[in-house]
Amino acid sequence: MTVKEFNLPDLGEGLTEGEILKWLVNVGDTIELNQPIVEVETAKAAVEIPAKWAGKVATIFHPEGTMVEVGAPIIAIDTDPSGSAAMPVPSAASLAAVDIAGDAPVEPGMIGGPAPGGRTAVLVGYGPKTAAAKRRPRTTTNATAALVQPEPPAPPVAPAAITVESPGGTRPTPGSVLAKPPVRKLARDLGVDLVGIAGSGPNGSITRDDVLSVSSPAGAATAPAAPVRVGREERIPVKGVRKLTAENMVASAFTAPRVTEFLTVDVTRSMKALERLKGKRDWRDVRVSPLLMVAKAALVALKRHPMVNSSWRSSDGGAPAEILVKHYVNLGIAAATERGLIVPNVKDADALTTRELADALNALVATAREGKTSPAAMSGGTFTITSVGVFGIDTGTPILPPGESAILVFGAIRDTPWVHKGKIKIRQVTTLGLSFDHRIIDGELGSKFLRDVGAFLEDPEGSLLAWS
């Protein structure tokens, strides 16, 4: 047999770890090349990881619910089940990557450090170095702690605990505790002392479950993402997509001076245009919604006002701040999922025909609902639309996605008494809202853009003829 270990790949720039949500294979299963083997959630999305080799599953190193660092082995695959080679024991990298000396500096090539040459592209971004990386040893004033790496076939050797004298006897020093940096941070956030906790991980290392079990009122083991009930209150850990969204929204809200304008629009003609599309032979199998018309209106208006499709770059290293105008549109569509709000985008949406745009929007929404949106699909957005009308809401004041200068909110379409051609008639009416970065877009530009979006929705055929 020939057993190869498959490491957790880099699922996006800046991501250092992922949680194993679900194993799609079991030990002993025969798998094919590129067959999905595991679903992993990062701070950006939940993604399925394909097999790097065909063969038989020999070992699964981490159970579901485990946080695993990028570059650590997650599964071993026997690529030659009929062979006779001996199966190796798990490498040292598959054991706990511990930081005995606390927050020591990280060498180039390690997660969290610089990214020199020798890294390989995997899925999105760049993976760990192909050569084995080592942590830089750190010397303390009293003693030096070292991690003893296991060598096949000898069993792993746990490091000796360092003790200090105290009035109540001897106890381990914090530096001798085996725990990953994320676990240490979790302990600090929860006010948990790692010293004295019996670790359940490899080499006796302390895991997230160990910390959470100590912090919970009953002291029972708690799943990493499980809510904790305390009396009539409930604590829900913030992580993954929800954590990243919260950080981005806070950064955006307190960085960009946001202004929001509103426009109520008669969209009766747009709704009739959609009905005509549905009746055409080439469109009978296509799901058509009002979002398509709003997206088309925004793309036409962005072509007329390209400054809206831009981003602000702050001064850096003495260089002046600048506005980056993007002559392409990666159209983001905000989508509510079970894991939180995500904003995947349609790449180069401005270059698509109306039918291509409809297909792209349908595929984007379907993928988001299935929870399979990739990190790549959520990066590089230039302009976003969020629809609150599906919830029966009229409008709102959306926060700008990081790196974008404007976001359009689309409210519910309602039958409303409306003055049309001098008479009060029941028309289909909606309210649009545009939030924009006032450093880039002043009131005049924002108003003109929103006006053009509304004009297109009021008369899509006439607007296309007049502006093309």
Active site residues: 438
Residue 103: both structure tokens together: 């927050």
Angle (CA) 370 371 376, round 5°:
120
Rounded distance, CA 437 to CA 399, Å? 10
Taking Cα atoms as reference points, which of 319, 300, 231 lies closest to residue 452? 300
CB atoms within 10 A of CB 389: 20
Q: Are 441 and 405 in contact (CB under 8 A)?
A: yes
Tell me the CB-side half-sphere exposure of residue 67, using CA atoms within 13 A: 22
Residue with tokens 């954590």: 243
Q: Is the peptide bond before 257 cis (omega within 30 degrees of 0)?
A: no
Distance CA 6, CA 55 (A): 12
Determine the Cα–Cα distance for residues 421 and 425; give it in Å rounded to an integer. Answer: 9
Dist CA 268 CA 291 (whole Å): 14
- List b or e across 263-287, with b for residues whose CB sees 16 or more CB atoms inside 10 angstroms: bebbbbbbeebbeebeeeeebeeee
Contact 326, 382 (CB under 8 A): yes
Could you tell me if 456 and 292 are in contact, meaning their C-beta atoms sit under 8 angstroms apart?
no
DSSP 3-state of 374? coil
Coil, helix or strand at residue 71: coil
* Alpha-helical segments (H) within 167-260: 181-190, 208-215, 240-253
The SS3 assignment for 359 reads helix
Q: Are 200 and 210 in contact (CB under 8 A)?
A: yes
